[in-house]
Structure 1
Amino acid sequence: MHRTFYEYLMTLRNPNDHSEIAEFAKNAFLDQSFPKQEKDYHRLSDYLELNGNYLPSMAVFDETYRAYEASESTGGDSYQ
């Protein structure tokens, strides 16, 4: 994996998209403490469980992280 989860997540920001994942990306951008250099699922999950009150559920993170892993294994963005 070359880019961090945060870098991937920022590719999903879109002010015209109000999906849960786009909202997650927007709120992570606004979260000054978000672990921007992290790639590890468990560390990110722990952070979000304690600090991610902007997530409607951890399932949003899980789905986004799976798409991140897929994009890193194929070398591009895979979220539809």
Structure 2
Amino acid sequence: MRSFYHFMMRYRGSHKNSEERRLADWMFEDHDFPKQSSSYDEVSRYFEWNSPFSGALRVFDHLWDVYEREEKE
């Protein structure tokens, strides 16, 4: 299973200015982000303590659902 970070890199640098892009760009720049993790608990705890912008947890929850669906395929 690939990490959530790896999944999120598809949104990085997108020409579309979206919250998904903001989150992916922030994850890329944050050297302490758990980049190898595929654990919801670990990643969500990190976001709870280090939320980069208002609404980031909502965006994360939505993208985690997408990530899980794709990883099950």
Per the TM alignment, residue 17 of structure 1 is displaced from its structure 2 partner at its CA by 1.7
* Displaced runs of 4 or more, over 4 A: none
Distance 1:64 1:42 in 2: 14
Per the TM alignment, residue 23 of structure 1 is displaced from its structure 2 partner at its CA by 0.9
Describe the shift of the 1:67–1:11 C-alpha distance in structure 2 as closer, same or farther (beyond 3 A): same
Please state whether the residue corresponding to 1:11 is helix, strand or coil: coil
The one-letter amino acid of 2:62's match is E
TM-score normalised over the length of structure 2: 0.89
Identify the range of structure 1 (43-52 vs 9-18) with the bigger mean alpha-carbon deviation: 9-18
Please state whether the residue corresponding to 2:2 is helix, strand or coil: coil
Percent of counterpart pairs with the same letter? 35
TM-score normalised over the length of structure 1: 0.82
**RMSD, aligned α-carbons:** 1.1
* 1:5-47 CA-partner distances (Å, limit 9, x unpaired): 0000111213412111111001110111000011111111101
* 1:43-78 CA-partner distances (Å, limit 9, x unpaired): 1110111012x132211110011111111112xxxx
Matched ranges for 1:1-80 at <5 A = 2-52=1-51, 54-57=52-55, 58-74=57-73
Count of aligned pairs between the two proteins: 72
